[in-house]
Structure 1
Amino acid sequence: MPSRHAHRKKKWSADVTERSDALDLKDDTFKGSPKKIAQSLKRSATHSRRRKSSPFRSAMSMLTFYINRAGKNLSASRRKKLESAKDELRARFKRG
């Protein structure tokens, strides 16, 4: 008898990233320095035809989504780098 979880679907977060009106991101978007992360997110948000809100809001939402989905698996240094990317993103979009 197969286990109850044998036919489990992939995680909903992967489905959101692939099929929703999220940004079209490069595979290495969340790697590198905070400046590189912000630059990549801004480029994707500005050029994406799949987003529903402003480029800034879409980019910030995707970064927050990534941080939240990683949850406790993020090291303190990695979390700090991603949080710094938020500040970089605000600066690139001339916000706050």
Structure 2
Amino acid sequence: MPQKQTIARAKEDKRQGKSASTQAGEFVKEQMHRIRAGEHGARSTKQAIAIGLSEARRAGVKASPGKNASAATRHKAEQDTQAAEHGTSGSKETHARRAAARKRVLKRESTRAASTSELSKHARSSAHKRTAADRSAAARKGAETKGAAGRSAAAKKAARTRAANAAARRH
């Protein structure tokens, strides 16, 4: 169950006209915090993201599955969307024993899925699956929507990072 603040942040993103994936990102971020806090774990970063996306869809975020999504993923996304439309967490109440079992299984999983190194690895592999043109277009769009002050700040940060990396290589 997502926290009220998470739902509020997602609604604020929607009001500002941000994309569904940005709205869903709030739920994914909450999942990462939960895992890091040790509330439960996840088998992989991909699973942690999937849990966040599922919660987002159930909260009413119109996040459609990717074009390469499997039939099972599409089915789950459809279920979550239907649950949001009916205003329930599902068509029927989840049996308490089943819910407890699900929680127990997640508690046994590692919290490593939300570590910075795993998230970094996942981001790199996800970016690698996209074409150079896609990545370039995303960067262009990001630069356009930043504004002059944002671009300037990003350029300064990039320069600092390059300098820090160069210094680390020298030592």
> Whose helix fraction is larger, Structure 1's or Structure 2's?
2
TM over 0.5: no
TM-score (norm 1): 0.38
TM-score (norm 2): 0.25
Q: Which structure carries more relative contact order (alpha carbon 8 Å, separation 6+)?
A: 1
